[in-house]
Structure 1
């Protein structure tokens, strides 16, 4: 029986890993898959050895408190590699965890490695490019421009399409706005604004208080607006409820908390206030106009400002090469400015411009990613020297 070890270090990796594993098991029903992930990967058939929720932190300062857990995860996965026989290792995103882990894999067993959703060396820390090329056997990249980024590096990079495109297209064909609102438990009448503060505890702590002040401001301008707070499954609701209690929003503001139903929340909403990251791609694919806001620890922000090689953080802007989506970062992420940007997205030319651009960008990513990546896995299992 063939066996692979898979490593996904955050909520989006868990989602993409689950889809990949389902596609793999359709091709190879006897394949055994173990590794690090979350509930979605567990439901897809992965034997979870390390829960990715334990590692769900971001930022340089915030990572210091998780070093022990990260090393513990590396040790546990490495011990399994030593003890058992694996045919392939699949790494999904999470370069901070998976790139050092790739080195451990080569030292422990020298098992072939596929990196699915490669680290964004085109955005920052380009020095990782040489390290990654030396440690992995193949790359499956999800943006067309990444193939050129990896040319001449010595590692084979294949564009497999974005793993979310087919999921969102299928969802939109099957679920109406009315049905989505029924799923999340909100009424049909109001204008809904979605909030996405992040999938990590420290992100929620940094973003949600400012988002809630923007909510207060927007509601004072437009009483029709009500709000849906989209939470990752990795987030503790008690943390969120404590922040809501401190915010002390007026009773006229309805805030519906929804966990783990990103597509339903986006489908239910006329506009979304989101943090940088995967959710900017998700809102784009749902064709939900958005405003991006980001706050980080000042030290983390200072380091990132020097290290980043890109002009924007929102994926629609990066794909288009222009500012389609407004971005408010650090000191610019003020409640009044955010409320004004959200209000402009509720109607008029700004909204139309975003939606039209989103439709064009979605076409550029339309390849069945999970199936294509699963074909690469199958090829590597059949030809281990690839």
Structure 2
């Protein structure tokens, strides 16, 4: 049988995870697949020899990109040349649009190679014109959210909803959550999970407000215990932030084995009565654990002004969007005040039934109980190739 030839690239850890699952799916469905491209440890574990270290592409923010602009531009050109030289059956780019879509554009300019982009841009939230620009050099999109395909299809691309990877992630059992409570001395006290973000800018901007909100919440709930699962890149900042917080347990992922750290994090998610979290995909992790939440976020005044004018939706919380409800309280921008956050958390501690229903619906709509997202993505890619060849 003729091998399936795939050039696949990812630029950051989340994309590497998606890529690894997709590669595994392709190998399950096709007995012989040849991979070339760029990826991290998970894609390499599935047989990819990365053309260069993926960390070269993990750059965010204008201040970080500018010093590396020439190098990144050179890598874009080199990668596009490698794709054209390989002449694969498909080029699969995963997230990292600043790199991925530029590669796809160059590839399309000099070939007819089929292009698939994994993770639809959030055109439903802001900058809807991105879909039309993508359609000039992307043939097919693999979407994580069920309401995204119409936006991509309207721009002329095939789009398949393949499920969100959160539905395939392990979740702590009730017994593991109970053991976590016992081992950490939490007993039967109510537990508040605090997640101030995974970037230093987020911890710096939200930290003082979260701290002040917690003082108010503790005044109403003196028995409350606080658990803070710190993200690795900001663990030092989180430890400094929480140094004088009472009854607070910080989970530092740098301590001990990585797998054990993730097990502890999952158990903490399941054991908590409520979570206060920075906006982001963590809301879906909390929903998977059935943990009620309050979302809070702010940005620089200039970013707040610009994005506020461009935003097309009335909520940024994915649980609210996917469930088509507005049951998760969120305090964004000017509304991100200690007083409002404290009131929101206190209210959810008292009544959270509506959130449980919305979280269950969210997981169902994201593909829970169905075929694994990586395998669904692989089927969609193969079907797209077959359709194009007919």
> Under a length normalisation based on structure 1, what TM-score does the superposition of the two structures give?
0.82
Cα contact 2:235–2:252 (8 A) shared by 1: no
Distance 1:77 1:196, change over 3 A: farther
What is the CA deviation profile of residues 162-220 of structure 1, one whole-angstrom value per residue up to 9, with x for unaligned ones? Answer: 3322x15xx34xx4133257579744524333333334444444444543444454345
Cα contact 2:317–2:328 (8 A) shared by 1: yes
Deviation at 1:354, TM superposition (A): 0.5
| Counterparts of residues 347-362 of structure 1 (less than 5 Å) | 348-349=350-351, 351-362=352-363
Deviation at 1:374, TM superposition (A): 0.7
Cα contact 1:8–1:92 (8 A) shared by 2: yes
Alignment counterpart, residue 256 of structure 1, candidates 251, 257, 268 = 251
Which residue does the alignment assign to 1:145? Answer: 147
Deviation at 1:287, TM superposition (A): 1.8
The reply to whether residue 365 of structure 1 matches residue 362 of structure 2 is: no
Deviation at 1:305, TM superposition (A): 1.1
Cα contact 1:62–1:202 (8 A) shared by 2: no
Which residue does the alignment assign to 1:272? Answer: 275
- DSSP 3-state at the match of 2:374: helix
Cα contact 1:93–1:115 (8 A) shared by 2: yes
- DSSP 3-state at the match of 1:303: helix
Cα contact 2:218–2:224 (8 A) shared by 1: yes
Distance 1:157 1:135, change over 3 A: same
Cα contact 1:292–1:327 (8 A) shared by 2: yes
Mark the runs of 5 or more structure 2 residues left unpaired by the alignment.
255-260
Cα contact 2:203–2:238 (8 A) shared by 1: no
What is the CA deviation profile of residues 7-45 of structure 1, one whole-angstrom value per residue up to 9, with x for unaligned ones? Answer: 334443333333222222222354233444444444444
The reply to whether residue 312 of structure 1 matches residue 312 of structure 2 is: no
Cα contact 1:273–1:293 (8 A) shared by 2: yes
Greater CA drift, 19-28 or 191-200: 191-200
Mark the runs of 5 or more structure 1 residues left unpaired by the alignment.
none
Which residue does the alignment assign to 1:244? Answer: 239
Deviation at 1:51, TM superposition (A): 4.9
Deviation at 1:96, TM superposition (A): 3.8
What is the CA–CA distance in structure 1 between the aligned matches of 2:376 and 2:195, rounded to whole Å? Answer: 30
Alignment counterpart, residue 179 of structure 1, candidates 176, 180, 186 = 176
Which residue does the alignment assign to 2:258? Answer: none
Greater CA drift, 200-209 or 284-293: 200-209
Cα contact 1:226–1:255 (8 A) shared by 2: no
What is the CA–CA distance in structure 1 between the aligned matches of 2:86 and 2:180, rounded to whole Å? Answer: 43
Which residue does the alignment assign to 1:377? Answer: 381
Cα contact 2:143–2:159 (8 A) shared by 1: yes
The reply to whether residue 20 of structure 1 matches residue 22 of structure 2 is: yes
Cα contact 1:143–1:159 (8 A) shared by 2: yes
- DSSP 3-state at the match of 1:114: strand
What is the CA deviation profile of residues 241-273 of structure 1, one whole-angstrom value per residue up to 9, with x for unaligned ones? Answer: 145325532454222224773644422322222
What is the CA deviation profile of residues 128-163 of structure 1, one whole-angstrom value per residue up to 9, with x for unaligned ones? Answer: 111111211112223332232234432212222333
Alignment RMSD (CA, Å): 3.3
What is the CA deviation profile of residues 283-310 of structure 1, one whole-angstrom value per residue up to 9, with x for unaligned ones? Answer: 2232211111112222222221122211
What is the CA–CA distance in structure 2 between the aligned matches of 1:54 and 1:204, rounded to whole Å? Answer: 24
- DSSP 3-state at the match of 1:135: coil
Distance 1:196 1:253, change over 3 A: closer
Which residue does the alignment assign to 2:161? Answer: 159
Greater CA drift, 156-165 or 38-47: 38-47
What is the CA–CA distance in structure 2 between the aligned matches of 1:92 and 1:243, rounded to whole Å? Answer: 30
Which residue does the alignment assign to 1:222? Answer: 221
Which residue does the alignment assign to 2:343? Answer: 340
Distance 1:54 1:79, change over 3 A: same
> Under a length normalisation based on structure 2, what TM-score does the superposition of the two structures give?
0.81
- DSSP 3-state at the match of 2:270: helix
Distance 1:242 1:154, change over 3 A: closer
Deviation at 1:127, TM superposition (A): 1.1
Deviation at 1:352, TM superposition (A): 0.9
